[in-house]
Copies of this chain bind each other. A is one copy, B any other.
Amino acid sequence: MEQDVFKKMLKEKGLKVTGQRLLVLETIGAHPGEHLTAEEIFDLARAKSPEIGLATIYRALQMLVNLHVIRRVSFDDGLARYELSRELGGERHHHHHAICLGCKTVFSLEEDLLEPLEQNLLERLGFDVTDHEVKLYGYCRACRQKNPWAGGHEAEELFTTDDKMQKGKRTMKIEKKELEESD
């Protein structure tokens, strides 16, 4: 299991293998496809280890990111979120997220469709892409069927006539969901 790979990485870097660090990694690993926040990881971890502190979570997350074991992503709601890197071995990552402006669900796309783009970039501009992150904003099938306005362009419902602009920002739904074909 990858727990062992992780332990080895720690030792190689002269870092200590602690229960807390293992727990943080295990917690993220137990929720594949989700994009947990530090607070969410804290709550989940605390369920197993009530004495763990939030600062420890942050420190472990920081370390895991630096070791490229996990990845920090953000969906512009002001919160950092974390997800497991696909391969600890060093394979390329594929990060495509489709965010529905209607229901705020974040869908994960598995396929990597940027290869040609990146090849092009290297050849023409000399920029060598080692990783990427793609966010697609739009409307999912369900929202499009429910709301005719969701077929076209801008997300008008995000703006209210008066001055009270997007309050409850912290409540964005981030779900474990992958787009599925159904045609």
Contact B124 A130 (CB under 8 A): no
Chain A, 112-146, CB within 8 A of any chain B CB: 113-114, 116-118, 120-121, 123-141, 144
A3 adjacent to chain B (CB < 8 Å)? no
Query: CB-defined interface of A74-113 with B at 8 Å, one 1/0 digit per residue?
Result: 1010101000000000100000001011000001010001
Closest Cβ of chain B to A70, distance in Å, is 13
> A132-B137, A136-B121, A154-B68 are contacts. A162–B14 as well, Cβ < 8 Å?
yes
Q: List 30 A-B contacts (CB under 8 A).
A: A15-B163, A62-B166, A68-B154, A74-B74, A74-B76, A78-B80, A98-B129, A100-B127, A101-B130, A113-B116, A113-B117, A114-B134, A114-B136, A121-B136, A125-B179, A126-B182, A127-B138, A127-B140, A128-B139, A129-B136, A129-B137, A130-B138, A131-B136, A131-B137, A131-B138, A132-B134, A132-B136, A133-B137, A134-B134, A134-B135
